[in-house]
Each structure stands twice: as C-alpha cells, then as structure tokens.
Amino acid sequence: MPCHVDISIAPAQLQTPPELPDLQGADDDALLRNHVAVARRYHELADQLRALLCSLGNQRGFTINGALPVAPASCGAAAGASRTLP
C-alpha cells in the first residue's frame, strides 16, 4: 500500500507582509520610490511562489489540504502536474 501524505497549511502559518510606510506627507519622489520598492517585493514573492508551485507539481504521493498539488501553466509539460493553474 503506497504511503499517503497530506501537507496541511494552516492559515496561522502564513506570514503577513511587512507594513508599508505611512507616506501621507511624503513628496512625489518618496512616493515613487516606495511604489517601485513595493512592486519589486511583489514580483519577488510571485517568483518564489511560482517556483514553489512548480516544484510541488513535480512531486507525487502527497496532497495539500486534501487536494492534489496545482502547478502554474508556466511550469510547462515537464512539470507533470495532474492539474495546472491558468
């Protein structure tokens, strides 16, 4: 009988992003710098999540919260995931 592993991720284990600075009195340059920094942070986070999902999509024999892992379509056919995200 194959080993069945379910990886459960509790909402409490998810970390919230750091607080954004209060820029109410900031000048346009400070607002633009903050916008660029936030955009970079989100792109880095998206890249990390995509890599994690592609990696999980390559694995077999486990579920996440009771469901098969889902991989982004950008992982390609080599990912071998049974389901893909659009």
Integer distance in angstroms from the first to the last C-alpha of the chain? 33
Q: For residue range 50-75, what is the model confidence (pLDDT) as tens digits?
A: 888 788 777 777 777 888 777 778 88
Q: What's the pLDDT at 81?
A: 42
Nearest Cα to Cα of residue 45 among 35, 33, 53: 53
Q: Who wins on pLDDT, 51 or 80? A: 51
Pairwise CA distance, residues 32 & 16, whole Å = 23
Q: What's the pLDDT at 5?
A: 66
Q: For residue range 22-50, what is the model confidence (pLDDT) as tens digits?
A: 778 788 898 898 889 889 888 988 888 88
Mean of the pLDDT values across residues 16-25? 74
Show the tokens assigned to 15: 């970390």
Q: Who wins on pLDDT, 52 or 12? A: 52
